[in-house]
Amino acid sequence: MAKRRAHWLVKSEPDAFSWDQQVARGVEPWTGVRNHMAKNHLKAMRVGDLAFFYHSNIGKEVVGVVEVVREAYPDPTAEEGDWVCVDMRAVGPMPKPVTLAEIKATAALAELALVRMSRLSVMPVSGAHWTRICRMGGWTG
């Protein structure tokens, strides 16, 4: 049976860590998650899964796609608690970044966690939502 990839969305404030930095570094640990729901999503990620890279606060748009290259391991930036991080690799930029405003204006995306749970920083994206956002952003990868 073929392995089925899951899809995700991860948020970063570009002030702290931007898409350009992700691209410049290639592979980078995704650290700093301090929310249990988000942590559980990180733990569920498998090598080869793809994720949208979303800029929160500034931009408020999906700017690129990253791939999980190392599954959950202890977050070295956590001083206490069993927080985890994964390693992400930049796959490519969205030809046309998909803004939060566009997502909110799309009825088919009303159930997206980005809309429903605005504070969650790591979330799953259904196959249908993934395809839809890729189409909106001109992503053909």
Partner DNA sequence: GCCAACGTTGGC
The residue (of 44 and 120) whose beta carbon lies closer to DNA is 120
Positive or negative, the Cα torsion across 94, 72, 30, 61?
Answer: positive
- Per CB under 7 A, which region of 70-78, 84-92, 111-119, 131-139 contacts DNA? 111-119
Q: How far apart are CA 9 and CA 37, in angstroms?
A: 13
Q: Tell me how far apart the alpha carbons of residues 29 and 32 are, in angstroms, rounded to a whole number.
A: 10
x-or-dash string of contact with DNA, 112-141, rule CB under 7 A? --x--xxxxx--------------------
- Contact window for DNA (CB under 7 A) among 53-61, 66-74, 89-97, 130-138: 53-61
Q: Does 60 bind DNA (CB under 7 A)?
A: yes
**Residue-wise over 69-81: b if at least 16 C-beta within 10 A, else e?**
eeebeebeeeeee
Q: Which of residues 13-52 bind DNA (CB under 7 A)?
A: 13, 34-37
> x/- binding map, residues 67-106, to DNA, per CB under 7 A?
---------------------------------xx--x--
CA distance 56 to 15: 9
Nearest-approach distance from CB 15 to DNA, in angstroms: 10
Q: Establish if 57 lies at the interface with DNA (CB under 7 A).
A: yes
β-strands 7-12, 27-30 pairing:
unpaired
Q: Which residues contact 29 (CB under 8 A, 6 or more apart)?
A: 75, 76, 85, 86, 87, 88
The residues binding DNA (CB under 7 A) are 11, 13, 34-37, 56-57, 60, 100-101, 104, 114, 117-121
